[in-house]
Amino acid sequence: MDPVSMMFMAGTLIGMGTQAFGLSGQSKEAAQATAIQQQILGTDEKINDQRKQAMILDANRKQLQVARNVQMARARSQAIATNQGAQFGSGEAGALAGEEAEGAYNSLGISQDLAIGKKIFSLTNIEDQLKSQLAGVQTSEANYGAISALGGDIAGISMSFAKLFGGGGAKALGGPTGA
Measured N-to-C along each axis, helices 90-164 and 3-83 cross at an angle, to the nearest 10 degrees, of 180
Mean pLDDT (the chain, rounded): 78
H-type helices in the chain, by residue range?
Answer: 3-83, 90-164
Which segments in the chain show pLDDT lower than 50?
Answer: 168-172, 175, 178-179
Measured at the alpha carbon of residue 97, what is the angle toward residues 96 and 101, in degrees to the nearest 5? 120
Report the distance separating Cα 1 and Cα 48, nearest Å. Answer: 68
Tens digits of residue pLDDT in 60-80? 888 888 888 888 888 887 788
Rg (CA), the chain: 38
